[in-house]
Structure 1
């Protein structure tokens, strides 16, 4: 019995990867017209439908941009649900490969969005705008400007914390890309 070619399974280390076959792998392309990226993110075509679109990460974020998970809940119910899910999913918070699913547009995490709310800025604000807004607001409530004012001190601490969150996120983005 003659073989048509030499096997890649001989010797150590193996010359091919484990679980690797010789057949062609089928890759599903993003369903967005004109996109040639792999479509790895399923999205329902309509509510309660089993039919799915398959988008790349960029177009999945665009598709989900206006979706509100807490729609129809009052503030207390929404806060309780967010707290319980954060406790249940704490292990995923540190996993960087889940980071794309943050704000809906794929650019900001939930913490960053809350920090931007402190500065009353949009989610697409660049870091220079964030820095300008932080400095302008911090000058108004700084403890040196308003000594002994507890409300101003609390506001200043809130601004500092929000700025630190956004600054750390910006540094992570610069480091990655």
Structure 2
């Protein structure tokens, strides 16, 4: 008779990997009819209701795009709810003064940091310095200055792309705030 094999679940440390159990894992499917994706994004069925739909990411995004927070409220109730939300969230706006928000502290994306590297600037450079560095470098490799030079043309394109990335980021920052 063969010797019984010991389970790998005994003692510490556990001898098998976590999450590698043999029993079937239950997965909640998306509540959208016909969707077989996992439904791991809860969404309220109605305003102020504890009942939830569980959608996949795609259907949750579709559902939320049509969501109206003030649906079913008359004008006075809408104004009261908006006033309450502003009051409750005003502390966050006041506390933003103490937060880190300057350039060079993680507020720039990786693309922006690469673009700053192309222009040989520090992470905390403001847009005036960016524009100045771009103009100085672009003047040296511009196709009108060096016609027919493929390396200069490639360098100019790289500088132009870096400037466009940083300009778009600056416009986004101005738009937000």
Instruction: Tell me whether the two structures share a fold, i.e. TM-score over 0.5.
Output: no
TM-score by structure 1 length? 0.44
Larger gyration radius, structure 1 or structure 2: 2
